[in-house]
Amino acid sequence: MRRELCAALVARAARPDLVFLTGDLGFGALEPLRDALGERFLNAGIAEQNMIGVAAGLASEGLEPWTYTIAPFCYARAFEQIRNDVCFHRLPVRLLANGGGYAYGVMGPTHHALEDYGVLSTLPSLRIFVPAFDEDVAATVAAAGDEPGPAYIRLGRGERPEGRVVPAYAPWRRLRAGDGPVVVAVGPMAGIAWSAFAEDAADGPELWAVTELPLSSNPPPSDLVAALRGRTLCVVEEHVAQGGLGQALAAWCLEGGIALGGFRPIAAAGYPSGTYGSQGFHRRESGLDAGSLRERIGARIGA
Partner 1 sequence: MARRGHTLTAESRPHGAEAPAPAPIVAPALAPGLLTLARWRLLAMHREAGVGHVGGNLSALDAMMLLHHEMLTGRDRFVLSKGHAAGALYVTLWSRGLITEAELATFHADGTRLPGHPPARGLPGSRFGTGSLGHGLPLAGGLALAARLQGRDGRVFCLTSDGEWQEGSTLEALVFCAHRRLANLTILIDHNRLQGFGTTAEVASLDPIGRVLSGFDVEVREADGHDLADMRRVLTPGTGRPVVVVLHTVKGHGVPAIEGRLDSHYLPLTEEQVREAMLGSAMLGGATGETA
> By the criterion CB under 8 A, which residues form the site for partner 1?
19, 39-40, 42, 44-45, 47, 49-63, 65, 80-81, 84-85, 88-91, 148
Alpha-carbon distances of 76 from 69, 116, 124, rounded to whole Å: 12, 8, 17
Phi, psi (degrees; rounded to nearest 5) at 72 = -65, -30
Q: Which is nearer to partner 1, 18 or 190 (CB)?
A: 18
CB 1 within 8 A of CB 134: yes
Least separation in angstroms between residue 245's CB and partner 1 is 28
Strand residues in the chain grouped as ranges (E): 18-22, 41-43, 64-70, 94-98, 127-129, 151-155, 172-176, 182-186, 206-210, 212-213, 232-240, 262-268
Least separation in angstroms between residue 231's CB and partner 1 is 43
Q: CA-to-CA distance for 299 and 180, rounded, in angstroms?
A: 8
Alpha-carbon distances of 77 from 71, 139, 231, 268, rounded to whole Å: 9, 28, 40, 21
Query: Which SS3 state, helix, strand or coil, does residue 40 take?
Result: helix
Q: Which is nearer to partner 1, 49 or 218 (CB)?
A: 49
Least separation in angstroms between residue 290's CB and partner 1 is 43
CB 58 within 8 A of CB 51: no
Least separation in angstroms between residue 113's CB and partner 1 is 21
Q: Is the peptide bond before 16 cis (omega within 30 degrees of 0)?
A: no
Least separation in angstroms between residue 84's CB and partner 1 is 6
Q: Which is nearer to partner 1, 52 or 267 (CB)?
A: 52
Least separation in angstroms between residue 58's CB and partner 1 is 5
Q: Which is nearer to partner 1, 123 or 253 (CB)?
A: 123
Q: Which is nearer to partner 1, 42 or 144 (CB)?
A: 42
Q: Which is nearer to partner 1, 67 or 279 (CB)?
A: 67
Q: Which is nearer to partner 1, 67 or 211 (CB)?
A: 67
DSSP at 110: G
Sheet holding 206-210, edge to edge: 172-176, 206-210, 182-186, 232-240, 262-268
Least separation in angstroms between residue 140's CB and partner 1 is 23
